[in-house]
Every structure is written in C-alpha cells, then in structure tokens.
Amino acid sequence: MVVAQITSRLRTLVRPLMMASSRNLSSSAPEVLLEEVGNKGIITLNRPKALNSLNINMIRLIYPKLQEWETTKSMVIIKGAGEKAFCAGGDVRSIVETVNDPNPVGEYFFREEYILNCLIGTLHIPYVALIDGITMGGGVGLSVHGQFRVATERTLFAMPETGIGLFPDVGGSHFLPRLGGRLGMYLALTGHRLKGREVMKAGLATHVCDSARIGELEESLLKMESNYPEDVAAEGSEWSQKQLAILGKMSPTSLKVTFEQIERGANLTLPECLSMEYRIVSHIYKGHDFAEGVRAVLIDKDHKTSWKPATLADVPTDEVIKKHFDPLEPQKELTL
C-alpha cells in the first residue's frame, strides 16, 4: 500500500518534469535541417507544429546555404517536415505583434524574404520543391520560383493575402500574371485554393507524384547523375468558382492594391517585381487591415474582419496606388 502511494506520488512529480523536458527538446529542435548527400543539398523546413511557417531565423539559415550550394552542388531539394504542410506561409503573427516595437520584425523580414525569393528564381542549378501539403504565401515564395515544383494529391496551394489585409507578395506580381488567361488575377484577388493536380494544371507545379511515393522520388533524385528529375506529370481536374462571395470577405484595400500589382507585374522582371512588392509591403504591413486580418484569421480565429475602408467603393484608388507604389526614400529601396 505504502509502495503504491509512493509510486503514485513519484509519477505525479515526474510527469510535469518529463513534459517540460519534452517541450524544451521540441523548442530546441533546429527550424531548418540542412543536409548534404553527395553532390545534392536537402533543405527541410522543420516546424511541423506550425505547419512549417517561415520566420526570419529560417530565412537566415537557408539563404547563405543556398548561396554556397549553388557553386558546390548539382541540385537542391526543399521539403517540409510532417505530413500536413510544405510551408503554410510567413510567420505574419510575429510581424503584427511587433509592428510598434523599436525594431519591428517587418522592417527586415520582408526584405530578406524577397532577397531569398530572388536567389531561388535565379539559381543556376536545379531546385526541386516537394510541395506535399499546404503551400501558401511564403511557402509559395520558397517553391514557385524554382525550376521544379512537385505537387501531390495533398497539395493545397493558395495566395490568401487579401483575406488578411496584405497582398500576394513573394513575387506574386511576377508569376501570377503569367498564368493562363486571367487565372493569376483570380487567384490573387480571391485567395482561391487549388488542390492536388489542379496545381499543375494551373501551371504552378511542374510535376505530380503520389504522396505515398514522394520518399521514393526523393531517393531517385539523390541517386541521379543528370540534373533533371523524372517526369511524373499528369493532367489536373477543373476547379470551381465562387468569386463574388469570396471577394466580399477580402480586404477592399488589399484587393485594389493586388489588382494594380498584378497588372504592373506582367511587364516586370522578377527582381523588379520583388522591389515593387517591397515598396508595397513597407506601407501595408503597418496598416489597420493587416493587423485586423491576422487577428481575425490567425489569432482570435473568429473570421469576423472589420476592414477600413469597409467597401471597394470607399477605397480612394488613386491615393492608395500612390501610397503603395511610389518609390521609397533611396536608402530604403530594395535593389536586387
């Protein structure tokens, strides 16, 4: 009886210590895994509990390694840890929470993110993104500019920024207007989600592979002597449209900024697009709608947004365009 009581008390005491130890181990895990296999480099986004959302630390780990590997490796593979997401986007919550701090995250996050996007888009070696799972926002920036993007039936692709008072950045003004028809404008304004094979049909993925075989594909890529992965493409299915109801939920300011962004981006290079987007984000991330959108969608999760202005008609188009697209002070411009 006494032994049983002691054992029970020990369990009570030890359990919280074990849980704390587990939390400490989890928090100390590297947010990006960088591995070299022969003449190939592997980047693993390692924040599965946060759907591998991209933060400034991850950007600062990936960028110098990509620079190094461009001259020392024959291929780079990037993937996400876990089974839910490649990368669900940038860590915008930290940006909103520090917007009034002396050194707000937004002052350097977007600049460094766009510089990384540009490097990915101009790499001289094959860059293979295994976009198995949620791929949105910042995750799109880590994949779409690369030479190869492999989707699976679990891929969920979107640029949902207008719904949080932002705009489709990470080079959205470059790749979206280059999609067939006006699909890019539709995706930019509505944040519509493409699933599985639809992502390749839209031109955003280059290949499709069953998720159950993604590990096998990775092994094959690592064993390859040539620089080009096996074509596992297949036709995609059609996607549905519910524009008006969706647009009514988006930030009116973000919609007008996004429309102008995509129109301009059709005639710009990737570096020019990223420089333009840096001008936009330098203003928009400090505004009411971005903070409100992140609150409603990601923090409180009540999805009850209160946009200011509340309707498209209330947004002064000329004023908004001038504010977001005019050049910054010379020392603040992003030159790529």
Active-site positions? Answer: 90, 138, 161, 169
Helix 317-325 / helix 252-265 crossing angle, nearest 10 deg = 60
DSSP notation for 68-118: HHHHH-SEEEEEESSSSEEE--B-HHHHHHTTTSSS-THHHHHHHHHHHHH
Please, are residues 152 and 135 in contact by the beta-carbon 8 Å criterion? no
Residue 49 is given by DSSP the state G
Bond preceding residue 309 cis, omega within 30 of 0: yes
Please, are residues 133 and 84 in contact by the beta-carbon 8 Å criterion? yes
Determine the straight-line distance between the first and last CA of the chain, rounded to whole angstroms: 74
Please, are residues 162 and 288 in contact by the beta-carbon 8 Å criterion? no
Please, are residues 247 and 273 in contact by the beta-carbon 8 Å criterion? no
